Amino acid sequence: MAFGFSPKYVQILPIDPLTPQEFLVLAIEAAKILDWNIAFETETGFIAYTKFSMTSWSEEVKVTIEGDQATLKSECTGNQLMDWGKNKGNIESLVAELELLKSTVTPEDMARQFEELKPTFAANEEDNHLPPATKGKFTGILSLFWPSKGYFITPIIVDLNILIYILMVISGVDFMSPNTKDLLNWGANFRPSTLNGEWWRLLTNVFLHIGLLHLLFNMYALVYIGLLLEPYLGKLRFLAAYILTGIVASTTSLYMHDATVSAGASGAIFGMYGVFLAMLTTNFIEKSARKAMLTSILVFVAYNLMNGMKGGIDNAAHVGGLLSGFIIGYLYYPSLKAPDRMDLKLGIISAVLIVVLLACFTVGRRIPNNLGQYDEKMKNFASMESMALEVYQMPKNTPKDTLLKEIKDRGLYYWNQDIELINSIDKLDLPDALHKRDKILVNYCNLRIKSYNLIYKAINENSNSYKDSIEFYNKDIGELIDSLKGK
């Protein structure tokens, strides 16, 4: 049973007494007997894909002949970490069929079949449809975090996410379950803040994670899609797609959620899966490879979208990233088919960049920021409340006329202003909890007004007859304040 990223099994087999040409003929015939899809053939080997089944997402089997030996490799195309012995079984089945064919196929038949295969051979350097070989270049887990040819931007993004997470933890943020305040301080996406001019949150939240497990799952998915996709797209296209789909995902989340604090790379990662899905629906990738990869990618996307329906998961960002990535993938297609056209490549990337940013800006400007307005109005409420309460801070020897003027012209005036303010913001489309809070605040202001009217009378008439009523109102006021504080 193989375990790794991705799980694989490799066996080196001496080809003696066969010639390289004879071994190739028998190996291809064995793969056909096993009902594998032959994707790519050369004079030195071939690539085939096993059938998709309930026990397999389809494996890639690669046979490479060098000198007097052949390297047989079976590798998972899905993003599973364990193959449950499937890859070893593939190689054993191939070797078993080879041994049977050795005793039944004559040298003359092998020579004839080799001549028949020649027209199908393609020079490696001329074939743009080979499945990416990046995964096979890694010798250890640490190599996944180090930029290399065909895998340059992905590890940088992964390393940046990990670095930011480490800095968050060092600063005192909980490593498993950060609180909302910490996430907002580090740049999480939140409609009231983002729409209040903090547009940078659309991007910064893509590099934040809500705990260690959130980070690990996202980085696993990112490394997998990066290994598959970056060799096709190249550095610039990959980076542009990642950032743009991340911003679209954040904008979608902003549009769908009034008061959700969101963070994580999953929207951008879904965007990259969307780009790859678009490519897999074209003829850019060889048909057999396309079929095998499409199945595993669709299973992964479908599972995660269904899992995202659970509470606490921002599925809106996932869908926004996926759809935008799918569109960007199709927009990239002309430049991918013309790799020598740098002007076409840069032109398409620039056009996609401008269109996506303008679209996100336009949508963002149209999103109602009711909670943001509510927060701003509540700041005004608190300011007027402070001015209304200034009467309690006046010295004991303050002249009677001054006290009465303070109560009437400032105290009562600002309590009435606060009631008008609350009534106006209560017309906004707000969560039920805030409408309930508004009613409590209006009741609070009315009690203050009643209390102030009695205090005014007591001072004006120089009487203690209102003392019990004033204390009764103050008791009710204290209870309302406690309820607003959640006590």
Q: What pLDDT score does 234 carry? A: 95
In the predicted model, is pLDDT for residue 247 greater than 70?
yes
Q: For position 4, what pLDDT does the model report? A: 53
On the question of pLDDT at 132 being above 90, the answer is no
Mean pLDDT of 17-33: 95
266 carries an active-site annotation: yes
Residue 480 has pLDDT above 90, yes or no: yes
Specify whether the CB–CB gap between 323 and 356 falls below 8 A.
no
Angstrom distance (rounded) from CA 24 to CA 31:
11
User: In this model, does residue 57 exceed pLDDT 70?
Assistant: no
CA distances from 292 to 45, 297, 313 (A): 19, 9, 29
d(CA 339, CA 334): 9
* pLDDT at residue 80 is higher than 90: no
Span 451-477, pLDDT tens digits: 999 999 999 999 999 999 999 999 999
Share of the chain above pLDDT 90, in %: 74
In this structure, what token pair is assigned to residue 230?
């970056």
Q: Of the listed 266, 296, 335, 451, which one is catalytic?
A: 266
How many CB atoms within 10 Å of residue 245?
32
Least confident of 15-19, 55-59, 310-314: 55-59
Comparing CA positions, the residue from 405, 439, 406 lying closest to residue 422 is 439
pLDDT on residue 78: 67
Cβ proximity of 32 and 38 under 8 Å: yes
pLDDT for the residue 143 = 84
Residue 193: active-site member: no
> Which among 74, 318, 324, 451 is annotated as catalytic?
318
pLDDT in tens, 388-406: 999 999 998 999 999 999 9
pLDDT surpasses 50 at 131: no
- Report the pLDDT value the prediction gives residue 289, as an integer from 0 to 100: 76
Is it the case that residue 180 has pLDDT exceeding 60? yes
pLDDT of residue 120: 80
pTM: 0.78
- Is 126's pLDDT higher than 50? no
pLDDT at 81: 67
pLDDT at 119: 85
| HSE-CB of 459 using CA atoms within 13 angstroms | 19
- pLDDT for res 125: 41
Residue in the block written with tokens 């350097």:
125
CB atoms within 10 A of CB 392: 9
pLDDT at 127: 45
Section 162-172 average pLDDT = 98
Task: Output the pLDDT for position 309.
Answer: 81
CA distances from 109 to 10, 36, 113, 429 (A): 29, 22, 6, 79
pLDDT tens digits along 420-453: 999 999 999 888 999 999 999 999 999 999 999 9
Q: In what order do the strands lie in the sheet with 37-42?
A: 8-14, 69-76, 59-66, 45-49, 37-42
pLDDT of residue 124: 42
Q: Note the pLDDT of residue 128.
A: 42
> Which tokens in the block code for residue 472?
């009764």
Nearest-CA neighbor of 300 among 129, 81, 84? Answer: 81
Instruction: Report DSSP letters for 424-473, one per residue.
Output: HHTTS---HHHHHHHHHHHHHHHHHHHHHHHHHHHHHHT-STTHHHHHHH
pLDDT over 80 (residue 310): no
Mean pLDDT rounded to a whole number for the chain: 90
The type of residue at 96 is A
Q: Which residues contact 456 (CB under 8 A, 6 or more apart)?
A: 404, 407, 408, 412
